[in-house]
Each structure stands twice: as C-alpha cells, then as structure tokens.
Structure 1
Amino acid sequence: MNHSPTAGRLLMVMPYEQLVRKAVEAGFRVWSIWDPALRPAAYLDKVAAHSEALALVDFEDEAALRTLVARMAVENGIQHVLHLGSESSMAPVVAEAEALGLSPNRAESVRLLNDKNAMRRLLNRNGVSVVRAREAAALGEVEPLLADFGLPAVVKPANSAGSRGIALVRTAADLAEWTERVKSAGIEGPYIVEDFLEGPEFSVETLTVGGRHEIVGITAKQTSGPPGFVETGHVHPAPLPAVDAQAIRSTVTALLDLAGYTFGPAHTEVILTPAGPRIVESQARLGGDRIPLLVEVATGLDMEAAVFRALAGEDVRTPAPRRYASVGFFRLPAGRLESVEGLAELGAEKHVHALHFPYGPGDVLPRTTDSGTRHGYAVVDAPSPDEAAQRIDAAFAALRTTITPSTSSTSGTPSIPSKKEALS
C-alpha cells in the first residue's frame, strides 16, 4: 500500500470495492471488514487490494462483529469507523464505534433513520410529515391490527429494504398473499402498518457534514405500483416545480435535524401527496439502484468520493445538473433463458453509461418480486426527461431474448437465502 500523505486511518464495515478505492484516493488508509457469505472470494480480493487489511466475520453474530471492530480500531489507531453498506448490520457497528469515540454519528441518530417505526414516531411526535401508523411486533399481530386500523393500508417490515415485504392490503386475500410472502422469505418483524399515500414518488440524496445537510438531488421514481411497489426506473434530476422541490427539501432536512444526524449520506424516499410531501422511509447510507451514478452523470459529482472528501475536511458542493440521467430495470418473464442478443451493441451506445444483465443461456430468470430479483439495468443520459424515457425504451427493445416460460407459479422464483437479506 502507498502510505504517502493521508487524511487519516479509516475502518470500514461492509465497504463496496469502489468505496475503499475512493477512500484511498481521498487520502485515507483503510482497514475493511466483510462477511464472506455475502460476496464471492474474487470480489473480496478486490476489497483487500485497496485495504491495509481485510478481516472477515459473520455479520449476524453481533458480539463477534463488535469485538472485531473494537480490536481492529485499537490495534491500528483508527480515527473513524464508517458503515455505508446494508443497514441490516449497521446498528452494532455504529454502537461500538460510538462507544470507542470513533463514530461520526450517534447510534440513536442512525436508528431513528433506519428503523421505520422509530422514524414514523419521531416525525409524528414533532408534527412533520405526519402519517397515521401502527406497529406490530410479530406477524400474528398484523391481521387484528388491520381490523382496527382499516383498509386500504400499506404493510411492511420495519427493518427491511429493496421493496422486500411491502404490500398494499385492500382485501383479506391481499393480506393472505402478503403473509405467505413474508413467511416464505423469512422476513421477521417488527412490522409497520400505515395509511396508503397516493402521489408521485421521489428519492432525496443528501450529504451531511457537521450537521449541515446538503441536498445533493431529488430523483423521480417509477414503480410497479401495488401490491409490491417494486422500483422499475428512476430519472435524475426529477422534473419538479420549484415550489414542490423546495417543500420536499425542507421536509427531508427536518427529518435529518430531528434525528440529530451529523455526518454522511442519507437516502430518503418521499411521496408528494395532495397534502404535501410525506416521508416513506430513510436510510443512513447512499442510495441503491445506481442513483449515485445518475447524480454523477447529471451533475458531475461523484457522491461516493464526496463522502470521503468531506470526511477529510473538504467543502463539497453539488454542481447544477447539466443533463438528465435515467436508469431502467429489465423486466422479463420468469423462465429459462435460451438466448440473449443485443448487449454488445447497446453497451457501445455513447449515451449508455452502465449496462448490467447477469444472465446467460441456460440460466433461470426469477419472477420479479422485489429489487433483488430484477433482471439487470441500463443507465442512459439525455437532454430531457422525455428523451431519457425514449432511450430507456430503446434499451429495453435492444435486449433480445428467447425465454421458455416457467411451467408453474413457483418455477423461476429465486430460492430464499438461508442466511442474509439480499443486498440492494
């Protein structure tokens, strides 16, 4: 490793390969921790290549994870501990880092963002983005709670992401389908039941430094709609009237202030209802679905690198957007993939910035039920939102596949991981 001038010693838990690389580029010496069950060895080798050292641990063993964080921090003179990966393992890491005096945020601040029940209580108690909601500790409590709450209602796990376990319940049949789905997926409680919010959906990316919240941008979301609300595409920046954009910004920064969030990225989802913006959920991390790439294509700001530049003391600001960027997720029927064509030609288009289709002939395409079971994506730029949509449609058309459809309702459905929640 190159030990020339550094911004400090950084311990990162669950760091994606490009995050370690960008932290090193910002001047940090980086030590990394990963769970080997979550990534193949070849990927972890890339993480190790940019790290001073890579240590492995089972993220579900919270005691072992906290012990490892403490040991590596003390042994290597660590100055900052960051967890920018999946929020499922974030709480014990931030708690241990706070105990060591090495966390840029209080563990309670992170919990208030990541835990949907805690976030809703915080907002409702303070009269911000008020949404009627109830909490269910276990699956068996949801049905009687709904009888009192009334339908329609949205039900979802309080600590999940990527559209996993979310549903709009309008009827008893909807509830039965949702119950079976969360049981099959092993999604445990607690759960949250909320009023169904109607209106266009947006994601808000922020970068907080010293308690000041920079609104990096607002992204318009497209979803499959009820019952599962699987995200099917995004466009950045969102084409919004200035008054609506300002209302969304104010609502999100109010949440971050209430939570006491002081450093790092946050990804907050908002629905613009007729009564104004209502926050759906938030996470103390970078957004998924290639939203950081959309921001970079549209504005030139590398959000991932900006986190480490800010941690190193640099004043990071978001440039004005120069163009639009859009991601579209391939939506193919479940079944056996017999042939695929068009990927090389599509990837060669100048307006295509990323292309991902991780299947080949003989693979079985899963039925899309959440973000983790989508079939890949294309990222494009365009001078307008309409042209971005046209280029995404052209990308879908360029991917030519032959698929033998599944012969039953379960064929093509991915097996449920025995251990970890799928990463977004």
Structure 2
Amino acid sequence: MKLAIIGASPGQMYLCKKAKEKGIETISIAWEKGAVCKDLVDKFYPISITEYDEILRICQEENIDGVVSNASDKTSEQVAYVAEAMGLHCTKRSVIQVTRDKTITREISQNVDGLTPIRFYNYKGGASLFLPCVVKPVPGAGKRGVSFVNTEDEFSDAIRYANAEPHTAILIEEFINGREVSVESISFEGKHYVIQITDKDTTGAPHFLELAHHQPSTLCKDVQDKIRFTVPNLLSAVGFENGATHIELKIDQYNNLYLIEINARGGGDEISNQLVELSTGYDYVGAMIDVALGIFKEPVIPEHNYSGVYYLCQQTADKIPFFLSSITKSWLVELTMDFDRIEFNNATRNRDRNGFLIYKSDHKITETD
C-alpha cells in the first residue's frame, strides 16, 4: 500500500516513522525548507502545501491508497481535498472548513445533546455585549489571539491582540469558569471512538497558555462517561466521518460541559504523537494511518498508564530544577531544553515556549517525584 503524508514538519515525524514500521510505502509533500521528515519517507516532493491541484496530480500519478497528516490545521484541509477527489477515506473538505470556523461550530454545538449552550456573537465593533468574555479569532489554534476580558478597557486591548492574527472575523463568547480538558478521538466511516481525555494546566486569564497536559484525566467517572457520550454526538452533528480529532471542553462546578473548539486533527503538544500511546498502549498514530488506508479496526485499549508533558517558559521558570533532576528518572521519556543558553519568553501563545519534558509512569508525575 502507498500513503501520502502532507507536510514534513516535526508534527508529521511520527506518521512517517509509524508508516515505515508498518511496511507502508510513503511519499511526503511539503515545502523543502524545514522538512525534517524528508529522509524518513520513500519519496519526497518539494512542493508547498498550498499547491492543491499540483499535490492532487502527484497523488493521482503515484496512485496512493491513502493520504494523511497530523497535529496541523494547515494540512488537514489539503488532506481532505486530495482524499475526497480520489475517493479515499476522509472527512469532507467542507466539514473540515466548518470545524475551523469557531462561529459555525459554536452554532452547531448549541443543540448537541450533552453540551450546555453559551452566549456568543461575531464582533462588528463597539463595546462588548456582555462581560466577562473571551475574545478569539474565528480561525486559528494554539491559543493565538485569545484573550480573557473582564472590563471594557481590556476588551479594546483584546480586540487589538486578536487583530494581530490572520482572521476573517472575531468571536466574542461567554467566559465559563471551570476545568479545561481535551478529548482525543478517532473516527472511521462515521463511528466515533473516544480514546483518551487529557487534563490541561494553563496560565488562565488572559491568554490561557497551555503549560502541561496529563493523561488520564482526574475527572470523576460520571463526568468522563458524559464526555464519552457527548463527543460522538458533537462529531456527528458537524458531519465528521474519518480521522483523528482533538476537542477542547470546559467543565463547570455543576459538571456542565461547554465546547471550546473542535480540531479536525490529532492534538499538538505531543498529545497525539506520544502521550496517548504512552498512557493507553493504543497505537493512535498507527490508527490514523489505518483510517486513511481504509483498514481500520475497532480500538482496544491494552494499558492504563499515566503520561504527560510539562513546558518551559517564563511562567514555569521555577520548574528548572525539576527539569534538571528528571534526567536520572526512570519515568523520563523525552527532554528538550537548551541547558547552556536559556532565554525565557513571556509566552502568550503555545509556540512561544522553550522546551518540554515528557513522562510515563504508574502515577501522575509532579515536582516532588
């Protein structure tokens, strides 16, 4: 079988390696600059991922059996374009576009069984219609352009901050106070499987920068069961059929569920590439490939471990001793950090962070371990 992988950034590395392990012939299509996956595939085409028709032509010429990408909003729509044109397993491009439009997904989510509706509107100018609120660009991910607002002065600053990001509109939505989680799922031919629920540590207001992720979630069983019931309803409501999704939710003190956003891809921050398999033993990246090739089998979760990732930035500089001591620990999976020259940014977006630590253990790892 032959698989096309769109993109060659670090986020696609695990797809390339996994396909090789499975004995699948691979081609990669991406801009050559920064293409770290170039040597991990059988054939590499140095073409921008924005060249939709040229990529389709190549995939048709190569007679591929599936097309896939992961952890990238930029490549998910291209994957759908190629797969749909070639009659391969995918979620339709129009549905991918819907999931990237936070206003449309918000409208759909208002009537999904299991989700609690919230107030929202597209900004047209003037003062906010309600406070507190969250201001965010309608497209986008990685917390780019997102701000919490509690006063009118903060609202003006938040609009300017959102306007610094590429967008077609700005969404204003009610702020929900509560815990934030993400839900990692896989879908095949319209049937949806929740694989894991991830707890998130963030900076909170104003920009909600993600500082750590931990699996499994510590939410009580009733709430986790509610999430596992609700997420398939949501995915069916938006028309999602095939592939991985990373859905962000808020849970308030009354255990009501609120949608933050739908991402039609595996989670970034090593969630889909490493954490899910570390905590469950389920080959999540391999499952993405199987979906694309149309050979997917119903998931079996063989293990129940703890895994997580901690990030370094100015807000977590006090964790440097924890990072340093982790080098000798049996639970350490990966550590990325420049110990000779650490320049901490005052991070406001996920891409501003300076390094990370990944663990796997029989318990949640904290600074006391």
TM-score for the superposition, normalised by structure 1: 0.77
DSSP-derived class of the 1:278 partner: strand
DSSP-derived class of the 1:389 partner: coil
Check whether the contact 2:145–2:165 (CA below 8 A) recurs between aligned residues: no
Moved more, 104-113 or 215-224: 104-113
The CA RMSD over aligned residues, in Å, is 2.6
1:389 has 2:369 as partner: no
DSSP-derived class of the 2:173 partner: strand
Change (3 A) 1:381 1:93: closer
DSSP-derived class of the 2:366 partner: helix
Alpha-carbon deviations, 1:173-201, whole Å to 9, x = none?
21233234334x44333221111111111
1:375 has 2:362 as partner: no
DSSP-derived class of the 1:174 partner: helix
1:114 has 2:107 as partner: no
Report the residue type matching 2:105 in the other structure. Answer: M
Check whether the contact 2:112–2:234 (CA below 8 A) recurs between aligned residues: no
Q: Which residue among 194, 212, 215 is the counterpart of 1:236?
A: 215
**CA distance in 2 between partners of 1:11 and 1:101 (Å):** 14
**CA distance in 2 between partners of 1:103 and 1:228 (Å):** 36
Report what 2:307 is aligned to: 325
Report the residue type matching 2:238 in the other structure. Answer: A
* Structure 1 residue runs of 4 or more that deviate by more than 4 Å after TM superposition: 125-128, 340-345
Report what 1:10 is aligned to: 3
Larger radius of gyration: 1
1:55 has 2:18 as partner: no
1:134 has 2:114 as partner: no
Alpha-carbon deviations, 1:114-173, whole Å to 9, x = none?
32122112222556622221124xxxx3x42x43x2111111012111111111111122
TM-score for the superposition, normalised by structure 2: 0.88
Shift of 1:377: 1.5
Alpha-carbon deviations, 1:50-96, whole Å to 9, x = none?
3232122334xx4xx11222211121112222232421343344234
**CA distance in 2 between partners of 1:257 and 1:377 (Å):** 35
Change (3 A) 1:347 1:225: same
Report what 1:306 is aligned to: 287
Check whether the contact 1:328–1:378 (CA below 8 A) recurs between aligned residues: yes
Moved more, 345-354 or 149-158: 345-354
Q: Which residue among 29, 35, 44 is the counterpart of 1:33?
A: 29
**CA distance in 2 between partners of 1:256 and 1:333 (Å):** 34
Report what 1:75 is aligned to: 61
Report what 1:151 is aligned to: 131
Check whether the contact 1:216–1:318 (CA below 8 A) recurs between aligned residues: no
- Percent identity, aligned pairs only? 24
Report what 2:248 is aligned to: 269
DSSP-derived class of the 1:304 partner: helix
- Structure 1, unaligned runs of 5 or more: 1-7, 395-424
Alpha-carbon deviations, 1:23-70, whole Å to 9, x = none?
232232211111235x2x5x2xxx2323232122334xx4xx112222
**CA distance in 1 between partners of 2:101 and 2:75 (Å):** 12
**CA distance in 2 between partners of 1:236 and 1:342 (Å):** 19
**CA distance in 2 between partners of 1:161 and 1:233 (Å):** 17
**CA distance in 2 between partners of 1:354 and 1:25 (Å):** 20
**CA distance in 1 between partners of 2:95 and 2:190 (Å):** 12
RCO comparison, higher one (Cα < 8 Å, 6+): 2
Report the residue type matching 1:372 in the other structure. Answer: R
Count of equivalent residues:
360
Report what 2:258 is aligned to: 278
